Amino acid sequence: MNKLKLLPLLIFTIALNGCSALGGLKFWESEDEEEGPAELFTISPSVDIYTDWSESFGNENNFGRLIPAVYDGKVYFISSEGYLASLDVQSGTTEWYKSTNDIVSGGVAVNFKTIMYGTLDGNLVTLDYKDGKELWRSQTSSEVLTAPVTDGNMLIVQTGDGRIAGYDFKSGERQWFHQTTLPKLTLRGTSRPYLEQGFIFAGFANGKIAMIYPDSGAIRFEIPVTINEGKSELERIIDIDGKSLITNDLLIAASYQGNITAINLREGRPDWQEDISTIKDLSLNGNRVVAVDEKDTVKAFGVATGAILWEQNDLRLRKLTSPVSIRNLVAVGDLEGYVHLLDAKNGDFIGRKKISRKPILELTSERNFLLAVDESGKIFKLSLN
């Protein structure tokens, strides 16, 4: 797609980013702008990081969270310009690629032999996983800022206007939607809905998380993770933009300028709650929930009680990715192209490697390897030894 066609969409995106940018005003009186990112100190690594392969997609614009998906021995990735490719997971060899002519903002998901993604202008698209042939496309109510999810019967998508909707997986016909009331100011982004225990779990910009029946869209419960208590509109921004998680019958979610809360799924009430401000995904490692707060401090909370088990402050303000767990480790990427490995038991550094000259935007773990995406749209497969 040529740059003239991208221009109006870019202007539209900048306008949408306005609310997110306003969120930063609350730091005008802090020292963070003068402090700058923490400098790295030398470590003695006990785990080495190897780059198995890398592939560049050339990404001039980033309109959303573009996270690779792994399915049936392939890595699937789509850039914001709509360049879609299937790569062999072992060698990184391109199996096939195509230009979709879409401006993609929602990332890609692959399941049930189907590729799914959402666009900046509100299209929900499905393709055949073998060759990328389009199966159907449907119009949603707003831009799609995160990857869809499916159980094989219903395809679920969350949009930027506070709506989550279910579409027939085979036909693309919308079956239901649930609308939340958005605050006057929100961050640009949505949480990543997911299916667990036969339900959809999704967080919203009003600080609530919902448990939804996927076949009908009926709400089993909708509980606030954070109560809106700020004096100004800026202080009342409490979006849930990161992915929550479920373990031991607890739903654990966190919000911006708010809390991390564990909700008992059997009783539908909070078991524990601790202060944190984050827009990133949570990660589970054993009996620990790991989070990265808005100042890039990495924190581990005990699943049962919410007690803080450790904090790692030496990556402060380095614009970390969401944390991911691999084996007994926690991995994060940063603004200088480094991937850091922390011991999940105590938060100590046990590995580090600079894999790119660009910031690492996304990091995901798949069994015994990591996939990283940098600002230029380059994908890296990383193994640990």
pLDDT of amino acid 33: 53
Long-range contact set of residues 157-161: C-beta below 8 Å, sequence gap at least 24: 157/106, 157/118, 157/124, 157/193, 158/190, 158/191, 158/192, 158/193, 158/202, 159/118, 159/122, 159/190, 160/16, 160/188, 160/189, 160/190
Q: How many CB atoms lie within 10 A of CB 353?
A: 19
pLDDT of amino acid 357: 95
Whole-angstrom CA distances from 156 to 124, 140, 169, 177 are 10, 11, 9, 9
In a domain, 240, yes or no: no
Edge-first strand listing for the sheet containing 199-203 = 194-196, 199-203, 208-212, 219-224
Q: How many domains does the chain have?
A: 1
pLDDT of amino acid 284: 97
In a domain, 234, yes or no: no
Which residues span the domain enclosing 81?
62-174
**DSSP class of residue 17?**
H
Residue pLDDT tens, the chain, 385 long: 444 444 444 444 444 444 443 434 444 444 445 689 999 999 999 999 999 999 998 766 677 788 999 999 999 999 989 999 999 999 999 999 999 999 998 889 999 999 999 999 999 999 999 999 999 999 999 899 889 999 999 999 999 888 899 999 999 999 999 988 765 655 666 678 889 989 999 888 778 888 999 999 999 888 878 776 666 667 666 677 889 999 999 999 998 888 999 999 988 889 999 999 999 999 999 999 999 999 999 999 999 999 999 999 999 999 999 999 999 999 999 999 999 999 999 999 999 999 999 999 999 998 899 999 999 989 999 999 9
pLDDT of amino acid 83: 93
* The two three-digit tokens of residue 75, written as one number: 């890595």
List the beta bridge partners of residue 372: 363, 380
146 contacts 192 by C-beta, under 8 angstroms: yes
In a domain, 93, yes or no: yes
pLDDT of amino acid 145: 87
What CATH number corresponds to the domain at position 108? Answer: 2.40.128.630
pLDDT of amino acid 352: 98
In a domain, 140, yes or no: yes
In a domain, 152, yes or no: yes
In a domain, 122, yes or no: yes
Candidates 128, 52, 48; CA nearest to 84 is: 128
In a domain, 134, yes or no: yes
pLDDT of amino acid 222: 85
In a domain, 147, yes or no: yes
pLDDT of amino acid 124: 96
